[in-house]
Each structure stands twice: as structure tokens, then as C-alpha cells.
A and B are shown apart, each in its own frame.
Chain A
């Protein structure tokens, strides 16, 4: 048991470190380091532009999409090298946020199902951040139940005509392309009538409407399709095999084992170290210490769980469903930490303006963003189902719609 790099890993780390040292946009380092969940703002700069510039610089030097093949704009690096890069990139990695879906899910899906010519055309600019991609899966009728989606694709000559609505689409407002899951046959059970495409988000008939979130920000969108035309050549996988294609996309999500997930604990610990309560420093208060210790062992537990996963990766093992615990634990922890930090501030905890609130309103921003973390990419309940079914081997939920043609599934409650 040790924390040492192999000689090969150490060489890679040194090379990465030196390059980052020489090339990263250092002027934003402090702001990025301090930014917490719910608030990554760069003063006097457009974060989209800064992020795109950093990604392009990485791509030009061969540090973008490390695990992708070189011919598609990657580096052909091993999973462990990808983790080492993330560790060394540190706070600058926060700039990659808007590329995660494109790099982690759309790209790999294109790699598995697009034609060779298309891969060479579309993947390098995706890797370099010049083009941003989004993933159009969720719908008002199909969130956790992805296969319940209703957006239709109908064949007309060599084209498909798309009508319907997507929702919760992160980054659609600045995306150039998207991968789109549609229903092509409503007369068969729901998983069997789906087809996947990719499309230009500027196509006529695509309308993106930002959703104002509970936090007041707008990271997600509704996307409406009205007679949008997609050539058959942009179909990914066979007609009606979209469910299997989407599974490839979702499985790739798991490869995104980070060096650490945000728990809010380091911020809370620092805060309690400096906060004065009526009877003295918060950190010396018995009940504060107990709460802090509880959060501390969750945060360290997650950190070392991810180290165990990284060790498994370095031995060539593939990440399994057990990695679902990161999001499950961190999601609710961030929310609790934010609530507790506000509680410690008493009446003034209600203030959220950066000028009036403690630590520039960091915990207030965290509080308002946290509910989304517990829902996006699978709710807490879906994560628990994944652990129960795929790790512990418990039976799947009973699905009454499994063998029913899609167009005969009830669509309204309280019937």
C-alpha cells in the first residue's frame, strides 16, 4: 500500500506539471480556487471565452481529451494518466465544466457509432473546445425514466423530421451540436422504439429557451423541435436501437472519476476556524466539533474511495457501478453543509449578497445550487437503485410498462 507514482506515472506527472505551470491562465487561479459549487464567476472576464481559450491551448499542445485516440484530437493516454492530469490541473480544471458532457458522453458515443469521416470532422473541434456539444435525452415525461421520452422522429425520404421537446439540457444555449434520443416507433415497448441522432443546434426549427433555476441562474434549457430536419447520415446506431446507443453514452459517464468531488467540507472547516460565536471560536464549540467531525469522515471517506478506484484503474480494472456513491454522498452533503454554515451565522445567514453575507455569500450560493446536484445525472433515489441492483444484486424495480407498446402506456396520474 503506497501513494507513490510508478516511474512512468511520475514522468507523466512531471511533464504535465511543467506544462500547466508554463501555460495555465494564472490570473484566474485564485478566483477559481475560491469558487464553490453554485458560483464560478470570473471578475471582468467571460468565463466561456476563458474556458475555450484554455481548452484550445491544451488541445494544441496535446493535453486535451487525454483518453481519446490521437487522430480524434486526444492523446491516447491511460485512465490513470487522465487522473494524474486532473490532479495537476487543479483549480483550472473548473474551466472544463462546460465541456464535460461533450467530452465525457457525446464524444465517446460518436466514436462508437459515427462513420469514420464524421469522426474526423466532428471530434477534433469538440476536443479542442472550439465546438461545444450537449446531450438531448431528458424530457418532461422522461427524466429518470429516460426511455419514456416522446420526441418523435419520422422518416421522410433520406431525412428524419423531429418534433417534440427536451428539458434540463445543460449548456444547450451555447452548444453547437447535440446528440438526440428520439422515438421512432411508438407501437412497440418503450425501450425498443428509440433512435439516436446527432444534429447541428443551429438547424431550422430548433429553439432553445433557458430555464431560470431555483438558484436564480440559468445553466439548463428547454429545447423545442418543430419539423427539424436531420439527414439519415447523422443517425447513430441502427433504427430503433437507440436505447443501446444511449447506454454506451451513460456508461461513459462512469469513466469520469475525478480526483475529488465537491463536498463543501474544506470550505466549512475553514469557516468554522475563523468564525466567532458568542461564547468563543466556533471550532471550540462542542456541537460544532461533532458536526464537523461527521462531515470530515464523509469527505475523507469519499477521497480515499476515489483513490481506491484510481488504484484499480491503474491495474487496468474498469470502473464499476460502485462509483455511484460519490455523487450520492457528496450531493446531499453539500446541501447539509450549506444549511449548517448558514445556521452558524444566525439571523444574518439569510443574507446572500456578496457584500453583506459572510465569506462573500459562498454558502448561500451553495445552498441554492445544491438541490440540483441531487437531481442531475440521476437522482439520489436512482443512485441508490444502481447500488442496490448492480452492486448488491437486488431485484430490479417492478416495471409495469416493460412489455406494453409505448402508445398504450397510461400518461396521466389520478386517472
Chain B
């Protein structure tokens, strides 16, 4: 058994960590947080040059053709650095949808642009409140055009194209849903930026008004493809969450060592030590669940749906737990704008909702475990 990343994959992680430490310090994250830019364009180009955007995209489509384990280690570092770029929407959602369901022509058109940093993509799924559900999709497809409103759409205001879930039938079943590709720069789509709890990853409303769209994958297969895309993205995003958890834990640990109160480092008080120990425990459990998810993702194992849900839940819990308790360890300083704690707190709570909420994934996990048990 070798339930670990290979030395090459660990080297790639180190390279990504070093690159992001230099190119994405908290100061750079704050440029976006403060609203001075929609995302960090320079960092995005740098990530492209390092080959990180196309790490799991096959070479024939302009990527590095490494694989999903490699993408997992990059994802962890993106989360650790709190990178203010549309990585998850473009790489985990749009690129994965294209890889799973795109025609050769569609892959040739968009994947090289993703890998080179020329195109930002996203997935337009939600229509207001609620979790992923075929019944909640009202946006209509007819005659090669789409009409309806999607929100929130991650990075929707800066995306060049979107994978859009639309209704193509009225049977009341999942097979009513089909996926489409929409070039957002081609007209027919009104884009509005929405404020959200984590400004370093934007959210938007996209209003489609007879917007031209081309089918992605077979008609009626949309929901089935989406489920797979969400599972794959759940594993990758979970790695970002684990990276963020670890960083929040480190920040808390470092502060507890430096800050003196009552004549001693606050990290020598059991109450504080035990907060940090519990953060370590939650981050470790999440990391281990993520490793299993990475294995399932990279081998396309039948265990992927269950593994993805477990990774997602565990990592969501860990990141929320670590980021909120990092603030607690910092005391009043942790609640200031000046300290970086809130950036991770924002990211943790925004990420917890982007692929459907925690309770949605809890439901998914139990369904999947029951199916496996019955099988």
C-alpha cells in the first residue's frame, strides 16, 4: 500500500507553494479584497506559465497532461494561499465539464485557452436559493438559445464562457436537463456582479436573453454529467479547503507562540493549546478523507461519489472550524481588518456553499452509502 502522494507530486506541491508564497502574498489577496481588481491577473498568467492551469488537461488540448493527483496538490496550495483567481470555477468546473462531455471541437476550442490563461470559464447552475436539484432549474433552452437567470454564478462577472444547465423537457425527471456552452462575450447575456461574503472569489448574476448556446454532451444527459462534475469538483475544492485549514492552523499556532499574556506565551495555556489541537484533528481527518477522494478521482473508481461527499463534508467542516478558531486564538486582533484571519474565515464560509451546502452533501453521502450497502 502507498496511500500517499509520490515524490514527484510532492515536488510539484513544493514548487506551487514556493511560487504562491512569492506571487500571492496576503498583500496581493487584499488588492482584490479591497475591490481594486476583480481578480489577480498577474497571478493568473503566472499560474498559466507554471503549467498549473492545465495540469490535468491532456497535452493534445494544450495542457500538461499530468493528472488529477497533480491537480489535487496544486489545489491544496491555492487554498493555502487564498489565491484571488477564478481557479475553481475555471479548472474544476468548466474544464472538468468539457473533459467529461465536450466534443472534440469544443475541447479544442476551450481547453487550450484555459491552460494558457486566455479564457476563464464557469458553471452556471443555481437559480437563487437552494441546493443542486434538477427540479430547481427553470432556465429554458429552445432553438439553440437560452433564456432565464442564473445566480449566484462563481466568477461569472469575469468569465469568458459558461457551462449552463438548462431545461429541455417537461417530464419532471432528471432527463429534462441538458448542458450548454455559452460564449459570454458574444452578446445576449447581461452580467451583474453581486456582493458576497468572500470578495476574493466573485459571484454574479447572469441573465440570458435568447443567448446563443451550443449543446455540451447529449440532450437529457445534463444532470448526470453535472453530478459527475460536482463530485470531481468536490474533491478538488476539498483540497483547497484543507490547504486553507492548515494555513489557518499555522497562523493560530504562530500567534499563540508569539503573543505573551499573563507573563507567558498564550500557547502555554491549556485552553488555547486544546483549541489548536482540535484544529489539527479536524484538518487531519479532512486531509485523510481528501486523500481517499484523490485516489478515487484519479482512478475513476466506483467509490468516487461516496469518497467525494466524504471529502467535501470533512473539508468543509475543517476549514470552517480552523478559520473561526484561528480568529478566537488571535482574540481582538483576529477581528481586525488588518489581520489576515478574516480572509480565511470568508473563504471558508463562501467555499462551504459553492457546490451546494454542507447539509446537501450530508444527504448525498448517506444516499450513496445506502446504495453501496444495498448493492
Chain A positions within 8 Å of B, measured between CB atoms, are 1-5, 9, 269, 273, 283, 286, 289-290, 292-294, 296-298, 300-305, 307-308, 310-312, 314, 322, 325, 328-329, 381, 383-385, 387-389, 391-398
Contact = CB atoms under 8 A, between A and B. Distances in A.
A300 B285 CA distance: 8
Contacts of B277: 383-385, 387-388, 392
B3 A283 contact: no
Q: How large is the interface on B (under 10, 10 to 19, 20 to 34, 35 or more residues)?
A: 35 or more
B285 A1 contact: no
B270 interface: yes
A311 B3 contact: yes
A387 B363 contact: no
A392 B276 contact: yes
Given A292-B366, A293-B362, A389-B273, A304 B292 contact: yes
7 contacts: A273-B370, A297-B313, A305-B284, A307-B1, A392-B249, A393-B257, A394-B276
B314 interface: yes
Contacts of B298: 1
B281 A1 contact: no
B270 A3 contact: no
Nearest to A297: B314
Nearest to A392: B253
Interface in B280-315: 280-281, 284-286, 288-289, 291-292, 294-295, 298, 309-310, 313-314
Q: Describe A's contact surface by its main secondary structure.
A: helix
A283 B1 contact: no
Interface in B204-253: 249, 253
Nearest to A304: B288
Interface of B: 1-6, 69, 249, 253, 256-257, 264-265, 267-268, 270, 273-274, 276-278, 280-281, 284-286, 288-289, 291-292, 294-295, 298, 309-310, 313-314, 317, 359, 361-363, 365-366, 369-370, 373
A273 B267 CA distance: 44
A307 B4 CA distance: 9
B359 A311 contact: no
Contacts of B294: 1
B265 A283 contact: no
B288 A311 contact: no
B177 to A, nearest CB: 24
Given A296-B365, A388-B277, A311 B268 contact: no
B288 A301 contact: yes
Given A308-B291, A394-B265, 15 more contacts: A1-B2, A1-B291, A2-B2, A289-B362, A293-B365, A296-B310, A296-B366, A300-B288, A301-B285, A325-B284, A384-B270, A385-B274, A388-B273, A388-B280, A392-B277
Given A293-B362, A301-B286, A394 B267 contact: yes
B4 A397 contact: no
Contacts of A290: 359, 362-363
B360 to A, nearest CB: 10
A395 B265 contact: yes
Contacts of A294: 313, 317, 362
Nearest to B294: A1
Nearest to B253: A392
Contacts of A292: 366
Nearest to B257: A394
Contacts of B267: 388, 394-395
A304 B3 contact: yes
Nearest to A314: B1
A328 B363 CA distance: 27
Contact of A398 (B257, B264, B278, B286): B264
The 10 nearest A-B residue pairs measured at CB: A301-B285, A293-B362, A304-B288, A388-B273, A384-B277, A395-B268, A387-B277, A394-B267, A297-B314, A305-B288
B281 A329 contact: yes
Contacts of B274: 381, 384-385, 388
Given A304-B3, A381-B270, A293 B285 contact: no
A329 B264 contact: no
Contacts of A381: 270, 274
A393 B253 contact: yes
Contact of A388 (B276, B292, B365): B276
B239 to A, nearest CB: 13
Contacts of B281: 325, 328-329, 387
Given A298-B285, A301-B288, A302-B285, A307 B268 contact: no
Given A292-B366, A397-B270, A1 B264 contact: no
Contacts of A2: 1-3, 295
A304 B362 contact: no
Nearest to B4: A311
